[in-house]
Amino acid sequence: MRFLVSVAAAFLVLAVLRPPQAAVAQKYAAIFNFGDSLVDAGNLVVDGIPDYLATARLPYGMTYFGYPTGRCSDGRLVVDFIAQEVGLPLLPPSKAKNATFHRGANFAITGATSLDTPYFQGRGLGHTVWNSGSLHTQIKWFQDMKPSICKSPQECRDLFRRSLFIVGEFGGNDYNSPLFAFRPLEEVHTFIPDVVDSIGKGIEKLIEEGAVELVVPGVLPIGCFPVYLSIFRKEPEMYGARSGCIKDLNTLSWVHNAALQRKIAELRLKHPGVRIMYADYYTPAIRFVLHAEKYGE
């Protein structure tokens, strides 16, 4: 399923970057990507492969690269398709040694959340969140990298104005924390305003750095994820399990995405010179799940 969702999301985001009436894709000088395991290109493994990490071993990477790269996929990720579409090389992980980042960098890392770890600790969830680098930590990595990719603040702003910034998705791991702790779904919904507000603050930080083109994906329908299906089918009265996906968990994703779109609309009004594009991961993923036979599955 992850492979199908990744491909669907890739083509979806490409459609955002290149509307049907456009003859060629928008050209960017660089791409700067932030996110979690859906777009981690290897940051989690640059300092060595943890024994527990299956994604750094075959069959991961076998379809496209022929070897594991640290991506949670057997091939390319959403951001890889985007980079290739606009004529850029695949983005190196920001923590890679001896890499150059003048054409962009991938700051995403597996386990990333929108909110910082103290937020979860304050709610008694420190034991269920595995945060390798939240959105705001990744933005700090980006800020620390600036001296290595441009010679002056003005040169940085000039580069960033010609670059694409991809912010997410974020939120999936934020909701994993209370869900894996079996907190009531009503409580999980209370996280949504804080998660979305954190994403909005991250977007504004990047705008302050000079970003004028940003893609902000929503979350996937988590009620269709095998991990949740295996856990929460044991509690059908609590989570509304159905014959396919778990409806109540998909509702959580839908509410998050609706709130995120409202936040994006608010930021568009506040920053009229900035293009902020919402990327819908939810709809194509649902189509794959509900009508797999139409897509060769």
Q: Are 165 and 217 in contact (CB under 8 A)?
A: no
Neighbours of 86 (CB within 10 A): 19
**pLDDT score recorded for residue 61:** 92
**CATH number of domain containing 70:** 3.40.50
**pLDDT score recorded for residue 288:** 84
pTM: 0.91
**pLDDT score recorded for residue 188:** 97
Q: Report residue 239's pLDDT band, with 50, 70 and 90 as the boundaries.
A: low
Could you give the number of structural domains in the chain? 1
Query: Residues 135-164: what's their mean pLDDT?
Result: 96
**pLDDT score recorded for residue 235:** 58
Query: Residues 222-237: what's their mean pLDDT?
Result: 78
Query: Residues 221-233: what's their mean pLDDT?
Result: 86
Q: Measure the CA–CA gap between 280 and 263, rounded to whole angstroms.
A: 15
User: Is pLDDT at 103 greater than 90 in this prediction?
Assistant: yes
Q: Token pair for residue 31?
A: 């791409």
Closest to 170 in 3D by CA, of 205, 131, 208: 131
Identify the bridge partners of residue 215 per DSSP, sorted by sequence position.
Answer: 166, 277
Q: Report residue 9's pLDDT band, with 50, 70 and 90 as the boundaries.
A: low
Alpha helix stretches (DSSP H) within 66-171:
78-85, 117-122, 135-149, 153-161
Query: Residues 266-294: what's their mean pLDDT?
Result: 91
- Residue 59: domain span: 2-295
C-alpha distance from residue 190 to each of 179, 205, 208 (Å): 12, 24, 29
Q: Are strands 104-106 and 275-279 parallel, antiparallel or unpaired?
A: unpaired
Query: Residues 46-65: what's their mean pLDDT?
Result: 85
Least confident of 17-26, 80-89, 204-213: 17-26
Q: Are 209 and 143 in contact (CB under 8 A)?
A: yes
Q: Are 213 and 164 in contact (CB under 8 A)?
A: yes
**pLDDT score recorded for residue 1:** 46
